[in-house]
């Protein structure tokens, strides 16, 4: 069952300059992205810095307008809730309110996303105060229950964030996100700031909570091995577009798009005997989104680019069980 | 690589402590290892394990106060770096041993051009003319793969991307042909495709210099697997295990190393299966256990581990482990 349906989402940030801060350009952070999120599934969004993966997450939770002045958003973000369908992209702050409790977010940095002047109790209780009509006693019971779910003890609930380690703080952030019984959780690099031995704990916790509460995740990360482990489907982004989307196993074991291939081949493997020549080296850097190449944005670094790639953005087409935005694949002799 | 080679660097019983309001924090507490000519040696560990402090101690870059190297020796080509005068250690830095850091943005000076920052190192350590220093800087930029090197000499750091800045850092670090490059999380802030480029570049540049060695500090075990010859695993300010890279990945013996390797999502593992974890949290260095530093999280601990800390023991050639389980 569809929960979120994103259709041709475009997000443009103005670039200002000069004394009067006039608009001198724009960054097309998201440039025509469409995908769906099913109930109970995890969609992994991967790509390198600047590819727009975080912006997509923020667009779905509809916080871009509050974060950035003058941002232009077009396209549709359809949310299929129990009483019908609503387009989140067009909603104002107050119109968004009823749906806020359904869509929550977990942030990358567990240090800066928790208010240092609030105790854990207060942090987790705050969304309950805003979104529910529970009594003070009911809220306290709920907070204790949530903290138990994420593996924190009742004695820890009166402490402040600085008294916790990174992993524990991420647990507090997860408890806060769960407080309003959300349908969807957008997790933006939830384990990147954590130590290796702690990452596995948090991933396990997120998978357990998903089973228990039937959560749907949009899991945004650049660590591809972690994304693969938790995701049902994966979308690979490059400079504001999805270049390939499909079942996690397929994308990982047999990527088709030349960018997905290069990205996955670059992931280091924890095996000293892994063949080193498997890497597809990409020349150069990701172009600045201010000067995005015409047509297929990847053509400037693509090993199989042709002159016609500059003409139009290639659409996603269904090939070999996934969707790929490249007319030239699958190509013989490239594997 | 035979172990009979004369080491390039010998660290013996290094102890670096930091004074805090809550007492002395033993960030590095008795670390000993050798770096052989021509090798890439990895140092892995989690935050607070003491890996960066070890690296900074080698070049005496520990801010004092609050930090203090309270004991040990760092022998480089026969001289103890810890006993050198400031003038002498300045000559070693950049010239003999140089360092690249995690943050390429904050380690470059934003108000000087890239060219000036490379030339500065060359002029500091060599008696050459500005013209020669300029030409050598251009060659360095070319070596690290910056397109149009001569035209980019007058650009400022903000005009470079993250990956390009890290290339510039490598160019600066290698400008005086050091024998040892210490790279502290050099690719952690970079994207994976750029990470692959930078690691490959570091290895390529090393191979062009006979007997040059790299100490690679990282928390990423996959990066270690792909680049290093030998690996040291740090925990709680001490080395817990040292082994050749294949041996460490195939036959880890310390429970911490085993836990770390098991917690990585395996490539062929079933999706959505639970990951193996190391329970608990990384202990604060102010509050380390009296015995084995890993005892609070160890699944194989014995009663005596709480009070007794074993020595590093060589269990097979080149494979050293600090654990009661390997003691006879």
- What does the DSSP assignment read for A29-86? EEEEEEEEEETT-EEEEE--TTSSHHHHHHHHTT-HHHHSTT-EEEEEEEEEETTEEE
Beta-sheet strand order (sheet of B230-235): B97-100, B180-184, B213-218, B40-44, B230-235, B238-244, B319-321, B313-316
State the pLDDT confidence band at B4, using cuts at 50, 70 and 90. low
Residues B20-78: tens digit of each pLDDT: 888 888 899 999 999 999 999 999 988 888 999 999 999 999 888 888 999 999 999 88
Stronger pLDDT, B190 or A77, i.e. the higher one? A77
How many degrees, rounded to 5, is the angle at CA B262 between CA B256 and CA B266? 150
A268:B275 CB<8 A: no
* CA neighbor of B280 nearest in space, from A270, A195, A120: A195
Q: State the DSSP string of B234-284.
A: EETTEEEEEEEHHHHHHS--SHHHHHHHHTSPPTTSPTTPPPP---S-PPP
> Are the beta carbons of A276 and B191 separated by less than 8 Å?
no
In A, residues 172-201, which contact B (CB 8 Å cutoff)?
195-201
Res. B253: pLDDT tops 80: yes
Reported as type and span, the H/E element at residue B155 is none
pTM of the model: 0.86
Q: What is the mean pLDDT of residues B232-237?
A: 94
Distance CA A191, CA B80 (A): 41
Chain A positions in Cβ-Cβ contact with residue B279 (cut-off 8 Å): 201
What is the pLDDT confidence band of residue B270, given thresholds at 50, 70 and 90? low
Q: How far is CA A202 from CA A191, B104, B198, B275, in A?
A: 7, 29, 30, 10
**Cβ-defined contact of A266 to B195 (cutoff 8 Å):** yes
Q: What is residue B133's three-state secondary structure?
A: helix
Question: With 0-12 CB in 10 A as exposed, 13-18 as middle and 19+ as buried, what is A4?
Answer: buried
Q: Which residues 59-118 of chain A have a CB within 8 Å of chain B? A: none
Q: Of B205, B252, B229, B215, which Cα lies nearest the Cα of B31?
A: B215
Say yes or no: B194 contacts chain A, CB-CB below 8 A.
yes
- In sequence order, which residues have a C-beta less than 8 Å from that of residue A256 and are 6 or more positions away? A244, A319, A320, A322, A324, A326, A329, A330
Dihedral of alpha carbons A42, A45, A46, A48, sign:
negative
pLDDT of res. B1: 44
pLDDT for the residue numbered A335: 44
Q: How far apart are CA B103 and CA B190, in angstroms?
A: 9
Greatest pairwise CA separation for chain B in angstroms: 67
What gap in Å lies between CA B311 and CA B74, rounded to an integer?
20
**Closest chain B C-alpha to A9 CA, distance in angstroms:** 25
Give A322's strand partners.
Answer: A319
Residue of A nearest to B199 (CA): A268
To the nearest 10°, report the CA torsion of B88, B89, B91, B92.
130
Closest B-chain CA to A248: B271
The pLDDT score that the predictor gives to residue B267 is 63
Residues 251-290 of A with CB under 8 A from B: 262-263, 266-274, 276, 279, 281-282, 284-286
Is B19 within 8 Å of chain A by CB?
A: no
What is the C-alpha separation between A170 and A4, in angstroms, rounded? Answer: 25
Beta bridge partner(s), residue B217: B43, B184
Mark yes or no for CB contact B191/A222 under 8 Å. Answer: yes
pLDDT of B2 strictly over 50: no
Compute, in degrees rounded to 10, the torsion defined by CA atoms A23, A29, A31, A33: -150
Name residue B254's beta-bridge partners. none
Structural tokens at position B126: 């060599």
3-class DSSP assignment, residue A305: coil
Asked if the C-beta of B41 comes within 8 angstroms of chain A's C-beta atoms, the answer is: no
Of B276, B244, B271, B238, which is closest to residue B260 (Cα–Cα)? B276
Q: Are A310 and A297 in contact (CB under 8 A)?
A: no
> b/e map of B207-217 (b: 16 or more CB within 10 Å)?
eeeeebbbbbb
Contact A10, A198 (CB under 8 A): no
Place B104 in a pLDDT band, splitting at 50, 70 and 90.
low
CB contact under 8 A, B263 and A262: no
Cα–Cα distance list, A210 to A7, A181, A183, A206, A207 (Å) = 25, 12, 10, 6, 5
Whether residues A228 and B265 touch (CB distance < 8 A) is answered with yes
* pLDDT score for A329: 85
Q: What is the DSSP string of B273-321?
A: PPPP---S-PPPTTS--SS-TTGGG-TT--GGGGT--PPPEEEETTEEE
Q: How far apart are CA A285 and CA A283, in angstroms?
A: 7
What is the maximum span of chain A, computed from C-alpha positions, in angstroms? 67
- Can the peptide bond before residue B66 be classed as cis, meaning omega within 30 degrees of 0? yes
Is the pLDDT at B269 greater than 70, yes or no? no
ipTM, 2 dp: 0.80
Average pLDDT over residues B121-139: 91
Structure tokens at A132: 């529910």
Tokens 């090393």 belong to: B206
Query: Using alpha carbons only, what angle is made at residue B262 by residues B258 and B268, rounded to the nearest 5 degrees?
Result: 145
Could you tell me if A48 lies within 8 Å of chain B, comparing CB atoms?
yes
Residues in chain A, pLDDT under 70: 331-335
User: Are residues B37 and B211 in contact, defined by beta-carbon separation less than 8 angstroms?
Assistant: yes
Distance between B7 CA and the closest CA of chain A, angstroms: 24
The SS3 assignment for B188 reads coil
Give the closest of A48, A271, A276 to B193, CB-based: A48
Nearest to A207 among B162, B260, B272 (CB): B272
């Amino acid at each position: 069952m569809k929960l979120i349906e994103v259709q041709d989402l475009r997000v443009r940030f103005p670039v200002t300059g000069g004394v009067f801060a006039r608009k001198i350009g724009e960054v097309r952070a998201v440039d025509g992205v469409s995908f769906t999120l099913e109930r109970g599934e995890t969609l992994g969004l991967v790509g390198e810095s600047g590819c727009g993966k975080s912006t997509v997450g923020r667009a779905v939770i509809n916080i871009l307008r509050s974060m950035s002045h003058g941002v232009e958003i077009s396209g549709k973000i359809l949310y299929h809730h129990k009483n019908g369908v609503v387009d989140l992209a067009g909603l104002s702050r107050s119109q968004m309110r009823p749906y806020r409790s359904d869509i929550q977010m977990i942030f990358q940095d567990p240090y800066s996303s928790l208010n240092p002047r609030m105790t854990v109790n207060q942090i987790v209780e705050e969304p309950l105060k805003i979104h529910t009509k529970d009594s003070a006693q009911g809220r306290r019971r709920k907070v204790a229950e949530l903290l138990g779910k994420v593996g924190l003890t009742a004695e820890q609930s009166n402490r402040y964030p600085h008294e916790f380690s990174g992993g524990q703080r991420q647990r507090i952030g997860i408890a806060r996100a769960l407080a309003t019984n959300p349908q969807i959780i957008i997790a933006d690099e939830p384990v990147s700031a954590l130590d290796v031995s702690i990452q596995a704990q948090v991933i396990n916790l997120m998978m357990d909570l998903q089973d228990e509460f039937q959560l749907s995740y949009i899991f945004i990360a650049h660590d591809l091995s972690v994304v693969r482990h938790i995701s049902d489907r994966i979308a690979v982004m490059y400079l504001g577009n999805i270049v390939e989307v499909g079942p996690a196993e397929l994308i990982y074991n047999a990527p088709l798009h030349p960018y997905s291939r290069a990205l996955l081949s670059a992931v280091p493997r924890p095996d000293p005997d892994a063949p080193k020549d498997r890497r597809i080296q990409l020349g150069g850097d990701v172009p600045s989104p201010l000067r995005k190449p015409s047509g297929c944005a990847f053509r400037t670094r693509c090993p199989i680019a042709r002159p016609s790639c500059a003409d139009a953005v290639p659409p996603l087409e269904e090939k070999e069980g996934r969707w790929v935005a490249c007319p030239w694949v699958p190509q013989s002799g490239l594997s | 690589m035979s172990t009979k080679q004369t080491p390039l660097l010998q660290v013996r019983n290094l102890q670096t402590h930091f004074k805090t309001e809550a007492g002395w924090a033993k960030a590095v507490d008795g670390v000993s290892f050798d770096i052989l000519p021509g090798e890439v040696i990895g140092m892995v560990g989690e935050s607070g394990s003491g890996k960066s402090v070890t690296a900074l101690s080698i070049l005496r870059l520990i801010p004092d106060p609050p930090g203090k190297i309270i004991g040990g020796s760092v022998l480089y080509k026969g001289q103890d770096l810890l006993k050198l005068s400031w003038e002498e250690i300045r000559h070693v830095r950049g010239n003999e041993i140089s360092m690249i850091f995690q943050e390429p943005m904050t380690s470059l000076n934003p108000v000087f051009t890239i060219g000036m920052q490379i030339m500065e190192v060359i002029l500091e350590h060599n008696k050459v003319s500005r013209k020669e220093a300029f030409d050598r800087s251009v060659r360095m930029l070319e070596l690290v793969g910056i397109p149009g090197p001569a035209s980019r000499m007058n650009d400022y750091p903000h005009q470079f991307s993250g990956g390009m800045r890290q290339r510039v850092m490598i160019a600066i670090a290698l400008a005086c042909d050091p024998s040892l490059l210490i790279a502290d999380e050099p690719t952690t802030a970079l994207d994976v495709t750029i990470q692959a480029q930078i690691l490959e570049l570091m290895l390529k540049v090393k191979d062009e210099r006979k007997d040059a060695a790299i100490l690679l500090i990282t928390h990423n075990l996959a990066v270690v697997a792909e680049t290093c010859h030998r690996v040291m695993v740090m925990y709680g300010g001490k080395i817990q295990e040292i082994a050749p890279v294949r041996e460490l990945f195939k036959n880890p013996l310390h429970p911490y190393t085993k836990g770390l390797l098991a917690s990585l999502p395996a490539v062929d593992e079933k999706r959505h299966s639970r990951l193996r974890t190391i329970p608990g949290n990384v202990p604060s260095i102010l509050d380390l256990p009296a015995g084995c530093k890993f005892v609070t999280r160890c699944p194989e601990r014995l009663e005596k581990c709480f009070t007794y800390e074993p020595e590093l023991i060589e269990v097979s050639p080149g494979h050293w482990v600090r654990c009661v389980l390997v003691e006879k």
